[in-house]
């Protein structure tokens, strides 16, 4: 009964979503307060329905109900409980349901925390999100029903893909989806503002914290995915420019551009229509990303041919969403008007450059991801676009972005002077060069590219220090005022600094790994040893070990550095019982300045194995940097100005009279 | 500076940046495309010399020979076969009789792979490998109907 109940709840949810998507919007157009007031309770109700439906699917997984097709194909009676719960989003249908649940959660958050919003704005925003929900509910119900029964019921399930049986699976998809779906809030605000014709600084202030929080989730989700790939795939990479990764990276790049352009719109009232366009783009790319990953089009474009309904629905949904929002944009945006003027050198122009560069990067990723799919779909041959393409595009684009990142925060709004900027930043640039050279020679080899990369990292850090110094101890300021001035720095500013410092950490980690990483594949017999980067790895043989639903061969590797013995490492080769796939489980010794990474290759007879050994300097700084970026986003979103002064910023409902609305 | 000049300057700057970025992207794109060829195409000499490309098909049964780190195997599309040489660790799902994709160069009658890919699902045939088998089946004509394995 439980699956039927879940299915039924989804149909109810569709009804509620339709009401939510239509009535408040009509109410806002006709100024009917009662219709608009429906938005909030409808959003709550929708959340409850979808959450219960999600709970039904989870219950089917927990109770091993193999009469449900989706459960039978993604779970197994030996699968441990946490992975049974995570298996809910282990496939296409369940991921869609998770997406919906997240959408509803964001709706509830908007309904709950935006009490200060004028009713028409809130009604329109929730209605737009409701319409997105209608699209996803229709998609789920017509083409991807997770509650479909299997007759006769399967005796046992086909198990979750072994690669997904990992704590990463429990956290990575929900975080990523929170980010993806979070951009729907910025999108809905933008659409609501376009309909209402009130695209202004107040709108930017409402949108900003939501966007920062969504961006934070997306950053965490991507970072966690990268870390997971690093330790799970067994060959030590942390980013592969795989289409699945690119699908999440495009919304991130656009979202990053969006948070920066929102800053200009809020502070200076400029870039208004541009910001709205970015909000639409970021969400459209989130949708594209969801579908790219979940439709199976990546493994084969011909998956479309085997189930044309899904493919057609996806294309239609994307076309309607993107087309309708862009049409609305084309119709409304020209009336928005320009904001305050700014000079050729100013913080505005710096942020504009940031936007152009980030979007160029997103465009490059889009090209590299979609072009092979297009060629294949049109039967024009098969090609692949590998990491060399993305790297040769990203190096120059990101170098320029990072360079400007050191200058932008110090440039004044409206008009800045180049000589003045150069004077204020000369120390930062010099110190960064010196430290970069020093770091290179400490690591043992000074190369041009590495020095440039390291300079970037230290340049950001040094310019941040300069910025902070000037703020808390301005020329002629007294030392005694320092604590007071420190306390005066708003949280949004700290957030920006922390996020930028995160980028510095990230760059540092990337450059160190790329330049100074050591890798060796060796054939090892019992007792053989190899020395990489000053660490000696001694192979002590392989023994059998058993897990809950797999058997493993576990290698034992002793590690020495000079005379010092470090903890042993135990890489594994696992075979999961149901799917019978071998899987490499690397052993990693994490450290602040380096990771040791050992994985078992294959046995080559006589007890000898091929063993892969890496020494990866500073690799954890990459994810540490991402964590700092995410925390920075959270800090910025929690700034006081988004919570205080609610009463005073209320827009008079008269400004939204029927004459200006659709 | 007059506001009009200023705006012109900003517009010119934006356009120049976009232009430069586009040129950079397209150039990088052009020089980093990796094309796919089937064993039959290689045998027919359709592969440009000295360029990195991908070959896909099935690992011929009984063809895998390991010598320390070096490994040799044969990739077949059921019509034609090519020998492949590789150094290092093969992916977990590399198996005789299963689909495989290798990236590398053609040298002295042998494919020197710099990368061997096998996907993370036993049922899943790498698209390139499936394509090679399909092409080979097509060229044999309708007399030998062929279904893609693993689907």
Question: Which residue in chain B is spatially nearest to A364 when comparing CA positions?
Answer: B25
Q: What pLDDT was estimated at residue A302?
A: 55
Contact call for residues A326 and A281 (beta carbons, < 8 A) = no
Residues pairing with A292 in the sheet: none
> Which of B52, B92, B135 to probe by mutation at the A interface, max A CB count within 10 Å?
B92
Q: Give a three-class secondary structure readout of A306-354.
A: HCHHHHHHHHHHHHHHHHHHHHHHHHHHHHCCCCCCCCCCCHHHHHHHH
Distance (Å) from the alpha carbon of B50 to chain A's nearest alpha carbon: 17
Contacts of A397 in chain B (CB under 8 A): 21, 24
Q: Which residue from A385, A605, A448, A168 is spatially nearest to B35, judged by alpha carbons?
A: A385
A313-346 pLDDT tens trace? 888 898 999 999 999 999 988 877 777 778 888 8
Taking the mean position of all CA atoms in its chain, how far away is CA A77? 33
B63-72 pLDDT tens trace? 999 888 899 9
Q: What pLDDT was estimated at residue B147?
A: 39
Q: Which residue from B35, B56, B53 is spatially nearest to B100, judged by alpha carbons?
A: B56
Q: Could you give the 3-state DSSP secondary structure of residue A1?
A: coil
Distance (Å) from the alpha carbon of A378 to chain B's nearest alpha carbon: 14
Contacts of B103 in chain A (CB under 8 A): 384, 386
Q: What pLDDT was estimated at residue A479?
A: 80
**Does B150 have pLDDT greater than 60?**
no
Q: For residue A284, what are the contacts with CB-CB under 8 A and spacing of at least 6? A: A318, A321, A322, A325
Question: Which residue in chain A is spatially nearest to B71 when comparing CA positions?
Answer: A604
Q: Which residue from A179, A427, A30 is spatially nearest to A22, judged by alpha carbons?
A: A30
B29 touches chain A (CB under 8 A): yes
Determine which helix (DSSP H) or strand (DSSP E) holds A35, and give its type and residue range.
helix A33-37
Phi, psi of B3 (to 5 degrees): -55, -35
Contacts of B90 in chain A (CB under 8 A): 601-602
Contact call for residues A314 and A295 (beta carbons, < 8 A) = yes
Distance, in Å, from the CA atom of A316 to the CA atom of A321, rounded to the nearest integer, reads 9
Q: What pLDDT was estimated at residue A236?
A: 81
pLDDT band at B143 (very low <50, low <70, confident <90, very high): very low
> Which of B17, B18, B19, B28 to probe by mutation at the A interface, max A CB count within 10 Å?
B28
Q: Do A396 and B24 touch (CB under 8 A)?
A: yes
Q: Do B17 and A356 touch (CB under 8 A)?
A: yes
Contacts of B3 in chain A (CB under 8 A): 341
Q: Which residue from A200, A228, A77 is spatially nearest to A549, judged by alpha carbons?
A: A77
Facing residue for B32 by CB, picked from A344, A392, A396: A392
Distance (Å) from the alpha carbon of B122 to chain A's nearest alpha carbon: 7
Distance (Å) from the alpha carbon of A583 to chain B's nearest alpha carbon: 6
Question: Which residue in chain B is spatially nearest to A375 when comparing CA positions?
Answer: B35
ipTM confidence: 0.80
Q: Do A393 and B24 touch (CB under 8 A)?
A: yes
Q: What pLDDT was estimated at residue B19?
A: 87
Distance (Å) from the alpha carbon of B108 to chain A's nearest alpha carbon: 24
Averaged pLDDT, groups of 10, chain A, 662 residues long: 94 97 94 93 97 97 94 91 93 92 96 88 96 95 92 87 86 94 96 89 92 97 94 84 90 97 91 92 92 71 62 86 93 78 86 92 92 83 85 91 94 89 93 94 88 94 94 80 87 95 96 93 92 94 90 94 93 87 90 93 86 94 97 93 57 37 33
First to last CA, chain A: 45
Facing residue for A602 by CB, picked from B22, B33, B90: B90
Phi, psi of A18 (to 5 degrees): -65, -45
Contacts of B1 in chain A (CB under 8 A): 343-344
Q: Do A397 and B21 touch (CB under 8 A)?
A: yes
Q: Which of residues 36-75 of B touch A (CB under 8 A)?
A: 36, 54, 66, 68-69
Residues pairing with A611 in the sheet: A522, A600
Q: Could you give the 3-state DSSP secondary structure of residue B4?
A: helix
Contacts of B14 in chain A (CB under 8 A): 352, 356
Distance, in Å, from the CA atom of B115 to the CA atom of A223, rounded to the nearest integer, reads 25
Q: What pLDDT was estimated at residue A158?
A: 87
Contacts of B21 in chain A (CB under 8 A): 356-357, 360, 363-364, 397
Task: Please provide the DSSP assignment of A197-236 as one string.
Answer: T--SHHHHHHHHHHHHHHHHHHHHHHHHHHHHHHHHSSS-
B84-124 pLDDT tens trace? 999 988 888 888 888 888 999 988 889 999 988 876 444 55
Task: Please provide the DSSP assignment of A520-570 as one string.
Answer: EEEEE-TT-EEEETTEEEEEEEEEEEE-SSEEEEEEEEEEEETTEEEEEE-
pTM of the model: 0.91
Question: Which residue in chain B is spatially nearest to A346 when comparing CA positions?
Answer: B10
């Amino acid at each position: 009964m439980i699956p039927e109940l879940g299915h039924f709840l989804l149909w109810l949810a569709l009804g509620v979503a339709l009401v939510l998507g239509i009535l408040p919007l009509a109410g806002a157009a006709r100024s009917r307060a009662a219709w608009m007031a429906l938005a909030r309770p409808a959003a709550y109700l929708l959340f409850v329905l979808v959450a219960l439906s999600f709970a039904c699917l989870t219950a089917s997984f927990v109770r091993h109900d193999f009469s449900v097709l989706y459960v039978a194909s993604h779970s197994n009676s030996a699968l441990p409980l946490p992975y049974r719960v995570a298996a809910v989003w282990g496939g296409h249908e369940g991921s869609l349901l998770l997406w919906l649940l997240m959408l509803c959660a964001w709706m509830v958050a908007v309904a709950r925390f935006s009490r200060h919003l004028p009713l028409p704005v809130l009604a329109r925003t929730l209605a737009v999100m409701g319409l997105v929900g209608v699209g996803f509910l229709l998609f789920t119900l017509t083409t991807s029903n997770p509650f479909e029964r299997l007759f006769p019921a399967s005796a046992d399930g086909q198990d979750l893909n072994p690669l997904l049986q990992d704590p990463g699976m429990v956290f990575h998809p929900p975080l990523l989806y929170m980010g993806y779906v979070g951009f729907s809030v910025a999108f809905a605000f933008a659409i609501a503002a376009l309909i209402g014709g009130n695209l202004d600084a107040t709108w930017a202030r409402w949108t900003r914290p939501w966007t920062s929080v969504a961006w934070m989730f997306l950053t965490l989700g991507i970072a966690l995915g990268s870390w997971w790939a690093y330790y799970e795939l067994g060959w030590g990479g942390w980013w592969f420019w795989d289409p699945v990764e690119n699908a999440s990276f495009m919304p991130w790049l656009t979202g990053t551009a969006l948070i920066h352009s929102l800053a200009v719109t809020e502070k200076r009232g400029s870039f208004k229509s541009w910001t709205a366009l970015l909000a639409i783009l970021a969400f459209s790319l989130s949708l594209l990303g969801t579908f790219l990953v979940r439709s199976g089009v990546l493994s084969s474009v011909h998956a479309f041919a085997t189930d044309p309904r899904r493919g057609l629905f996806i294309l239609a949904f994307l076309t309607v969403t993107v087309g309708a929002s862009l049409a609305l944009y084309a119709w409304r945006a020209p009336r928005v008007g320009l904001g305050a003027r700014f000079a050729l050198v100013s913080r505005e122009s710096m942020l504009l450059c940031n936007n152009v560069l980030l979007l160029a990067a997103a465009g490059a990723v889009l090209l590299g991801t979609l072009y092979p799919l297009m060629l294949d779909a049109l039967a024009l041959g098969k090609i692949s676009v590998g990491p060399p393409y993305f790297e040769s595009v990203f190096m120059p684009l990101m170098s320029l972005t990072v360079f400007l990142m050191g200058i932008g925060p110090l440039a004044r709004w409206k008009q800045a002077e180049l000589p003045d900027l150069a004077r204020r930043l000369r120390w930062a640039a010099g110190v960064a060069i010196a430290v970069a050279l020093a770091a290179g020679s400490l690591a043992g080899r000074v190369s041009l590219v590495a020095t440039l990369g390291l300079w970037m990292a230290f340049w950001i850090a040094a310019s941040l220090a300069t910025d902070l110094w000037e703020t808390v101890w301005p020329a002629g300021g007294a030392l005694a005022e320092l604590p007071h001035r420190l306390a005066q720095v708003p949280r949004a500013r700290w957030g920006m600094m922390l996020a930028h410092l995160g980028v510095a950490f990230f760059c540092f980690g990337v450059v160190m790994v790329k330049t100074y990483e050591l890798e060796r594949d060796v054939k090892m017999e019992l007792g053989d040893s190899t020395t990489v980067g000053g660490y000696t790895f001694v192979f002590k043989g392989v023994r059998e070990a058993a897990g809950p639903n797999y058997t493993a061969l576990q290698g034992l590797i002793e590690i020495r550095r000079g005379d010092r013995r470090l903890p042993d490492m135990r890489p594994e080769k696992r075979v999961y019982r149901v799917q019978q796939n071998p899987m490499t489980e690397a052993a990693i010794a994490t450290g602040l300045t380096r990771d040791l990474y050992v994985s078992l290759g294959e046995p080559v007879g006589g007890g000898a194995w091929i063993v892969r050994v890496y020494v990866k300097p500073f690799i954890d700084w990459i994810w540490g940097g991402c964590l700092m970026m995410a925390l920075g986003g959270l800090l910025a979103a929690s700034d006081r100005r988004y919570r205080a002064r609610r009463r005073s910023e209320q827009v008079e409902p008269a400004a939204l009279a029927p004459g200006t609305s659709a | 500076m007059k506001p009009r000049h200023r705006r012109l300057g900003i517009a010119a700057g934006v356009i120049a940046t976009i232009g430069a970025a586009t040129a950079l992207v397209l150039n990088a794109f052009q020089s980093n495309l990796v094309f796919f060829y089937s064993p039959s195409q290689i045998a027919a000499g359709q592969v440009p010399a000295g360029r990195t490309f991908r070959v896909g098909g099935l690992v011929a049964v009984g063809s895998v020979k390991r010598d320390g780190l070096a490994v040799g195997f044969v990739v077949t599309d059921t019509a034609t076969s090519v020998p492949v040489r590789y150094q290092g660790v093969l992916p977990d799902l590399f198996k005789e009789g299963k689909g495989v994709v290798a990236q590398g160069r053609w040298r002295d009658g042998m494919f020197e792979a710099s990368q061997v890919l096998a996907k993370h699902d036993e049922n899943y045939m790498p698209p390139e490998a499936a394509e090679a088998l399909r092409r080979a089946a097509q060229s044999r004509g309708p007399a030998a109907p062929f279904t893609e394995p693993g689907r």
